[in-house]
Amino acid sequence: MTTAISDRLTLADWRRRVAELYADVRRLAADDPATAWEHWRVTRETLFREHPQSPVPASARSAFVASHWPYDARLRFEVVVEVEPEDSTHPARSPLAPAESPAPGGRGAILALPNSGEESLGFSRVGSVTIPFPDRPRTLAMFWLSGYAGGLFLPFRDGTSGHETYAAGRYLVDAAKSADLGGDSGRGTVILDFNFAYQPSCAWDPRWACPLAPPENRLDLRIEAGERLTVTHD
């Protein structure tokens, strides 16, 4: 088998396993989000340590140990995706409902988010979500990947960025890669659980190019939940 074919087969297997993992998480979280999180944490660590498509450099995989803050139930939310003004021609339609065009809510301009590499991906802004943090609400933008497989995308930065977590931020939702905790399309909601926040692949190895959080998705507080950066040893 050639290297190219082997790489594609292992990548297909990686995507399959990640999709299965998030399907398990959604099922388990319906009754016990903390148990779902523990399953996610353990399974991801195993994939990162053992799978040939791990974003961790091959020389560091065998010693890889994931690091997370303890699960915090206060940081799980179901929030409404609020429609962008440019989508006002369909005021009754939820931005998560089936759309006439390939990109739900994608009537606005195609945007290029900050990127860790030279290549940039196109996104459209679906809307925004208001998160009721204990001290006061904050708003984050929600995007839709315009190419590739499509999908909702929500990156963010917070007060841990550049310290305990990757300087350019973490991901909450990346549905094109199956990182999706669910929601209710009829009510226009998504589930955002910061305990499942994770570093993009470029945090582990600069050979990966990743879209990053734009300025509007930088939170003015520390999110001490989800994945932390881990020191790996050869």
CA distance 105 to 137: 23
Q: How confident is the model at residue 208 (pLDDT cuts 50, 70, 90)?
A: confident
Hey, what are 66's tokens? 């994931």
Q: Domains in the chain: how many in total?
A: 1
What is the sign of the dihedral through the CA atoms of 152, 103, 202 and 40? positive
pLDDT tens sequence across 118-128: 666 678 899 99
Contact 37, 196 (CB under 8 A): yes
Note whether residue 233 is domain-resident. Answer: no
Note whether residue 66 is domain-resident. Answer: yes
Residue of 87 and 201 predicted with greater confidence:
201
* End-to-end CA separation in angstroms for the chain: 29
Note whether residue 234 is domain-resident. Answer: no
Note down the domain range covering 36: 3-228
Q: Read off the pTM.
A: 0.85
pLDDT above 50: residue 234: no
pLDDT score at 96: 47
Contact 168, 157 (CB under 8 A): yes
Note whether residue 126 is domain-resident. Answer: yes
What is the sign of the dihedral through the CA atoms of 85, 180, 6 and 118? positive
Note whether residue 219 is domain-resident. Answer: yes
Note whether residue 182 is domain-resident. Answer: yes
Contact 192, 129 (CB under 8 A): yes
Q: How confident is the model at residue 87 (pLDDT cuts 50, 70, 90)?
A: very low
Note whether residue 183 is domain-resident. Answer: yes
Note whether residue 206 is domain-resident. Answer: yes
